[in-house]
Amino acid sequence: MKIEPFKVELWMNEHEDKAIYNTGETCVDSISMDELFEIAGLDKQDTLNELTQKRLTYGHIFGNPKFKKGIASLYETIQEEDITTTHGAIGANHLVLYSLVEPEDEVVAVLPTYQQLYSIPASFRATVKQHVLAPENNFLPDLTELKKQVSQKTKVIIINNPNNPSGSLMDREMLTEIVAIAKDANAYILSDETYRGLTQADIESPSIADLYEKGISVSSMSKVWSLAGLRLGWIATKNQEALQQCLLHRDHNTISCGMIDEELAAIALLNKEKLLMRSQKIIRENLKILDEWVAKEPHISYVKPQAGTVTLLYYDFDRSSRELCLDLIDNHGLLFTPGDCFEFENCVRIGYGCRTEELIASLNKFSEYLAKI
């Protein structure tokens, strides 16, 4: 099976370790086990003693019930039996596409987005139609155009909400309209919701799994919950046909997730309000800093993100995004992600979920660079 190289992952693999100023990171500032236990109000020694006594079996094949209960609490209508756990959201996306998309199927996917969402269906020899999100439309779908792209042959409509890399957010009204388009075609909607909940304002961020009987939500413990090292994600859907296909295929590539990882994730989601408050505080304070910085930089512009931890910074000088980012990392230790990793140019992706002092130092370094060129 041939597949397109995963541009953003190749870029991060090659350059992340060189970063002095890392604004390529997409998770909210990661926490340690010590910090997790402190946030949860647990006695560290007692908790570790309990964990170390567990026999390291395969654990719960379809996911630790405590973890799945925590996941279900993130939705309006999803129950524990509507969920299966995976190796990160990247594993969840792959499993859904691997389970549902066949050669000759038609898929409509937004662009820009996480590349696997359109490269994996293409590798299965599906016809992939790209619905390009434009900055002029705040990186939101053009519903008239989307309706034209979806046909009776469409198997899956793929969205990413909140969007990576733009930070746009589709509200309930827009999602409901997309559901109507999907219903007319009897198509699934796969929604990568890895950043769901990280809103700039105190507004809802509904899940497609709660809005549509053929809606499939994918998420993880990485971005919102600052626990990427657990490598845990999940699929949530009320559509039993889709879920059973995922479970059938899951036997071939997962069996189960790490039992200790799921214990820790269960602790985190039992304390989801505290963790979410921490994450929202970081991204909201950091976006204010980024917004003020953009306003002062004459050669930089952006569409202010509504959610998530990332956005695209556009520049007005003549240089490819890859050339610019290579210069920044190789000669200045400053890590951004080139826009060409998302099929866009004259822009770079910045992650602003890091420690505030790290963001300030990175922006100051970029300002020095811009002043010189």
Question: For residue range 8-33, what is the model confidence (pLDDT) as tens digits?
Answer: 999 999 999 999 999 999 999 999 99
> CA gyration radius for the chain?
20
Per DSSP, the three-state class of 164 is coil
Helix axes 33-40, 272-296, angle to 10 degrees: 120
Tally: H helices and E strands in the chain: 14, 13
Reported as a pLDDT band with limits 50, 70 and 90, residue 340 is very high
80: closest CA among 90, 94, 92, 65? Answer: 65
pLDDT in tens, 199-216: 999 999 999 999 999 999
| Residue range 122-131, pLDDT digits in tens | 999 999 999 9
Ramachandran region of residue 292, left (φ > 0), alpha (ψ -120 to 50) or beta?
A: alpha
Cα–Cα distance between 31 and 355 in angstroms, integer? 11
Kindly list the distances between the CA atom of residue 216 and the CA atoms of 188, 192, 193, 243, in Å, as whole numbers in the listed order.
7, 9, 10, 9
Quote the mean pLDDT of the chain. Answer: 98
Residue 249 has pLDDT above 90, yes or no: yes
**Whether CATH 3.30.70.360 fits 43-271:** no
Paired with 55 in beta bridges are none
Using left for φ > 0, alpha for ψ between -120 and 50, and beta otherwise, residue 167 falls in left
Element (H, E) at 309: none
Domain residue ranges in the chain? 7-33+273-372, 43-271
- Identify the pLDDT of residue 1: 80
pLDDT range class, residue 194, cuts 50, 70, 90: very high
Place of tokens 């969920």: 83
pTM over 0.95: yes
Indicate if the pLDDT at residue 151 is higher than 90. Answer: yes
Contact 345, 322 (CB under 8 A): no
Position of tokens 């990247």? 90
Helix (H) or strand (E) holding 161: none
Torsional sign, CA 176, 182, 188, 192? negative
Residue 125 backbone phi and psi in degrees, to 5 = 65, 30
For the record, the structure tokens of 25 come out as 């990171």
Nearest alpha carbon to residue 116 among 90, 145, 88: 90
Which residues touch 362 (CB under 8 Å, ≥6 apart)? 21, 22, 23, 334, 354
- For the segment(s) 7-33+273-372, the CATH number from 3.40.50.450, 3.40.50.300, 3.90.1150.10, 3.40.50.170 is 3.90.1150.10
In the numeric block, which tokens belong to residue 366? 């970029």
pLDDT in tens, 316-337: 999 999 999 999 999 999 999 9
CA–CA separation, 193 and 229 (whole Å):
18
Amino acid at 282: I
DSSP letter at 199 equals B
pLDDT confidence of residue 268: 98
Q: For the sheet containing 83-86, what is the strand order?
A: 83-86, 233-237, 215-220, 188-192, 154-160, 106-111, 127-132
**CA–CA distance from 84 to each of 56, 120, 140, 156, 190 (Å)?**
20, 20, 29, 20, 15
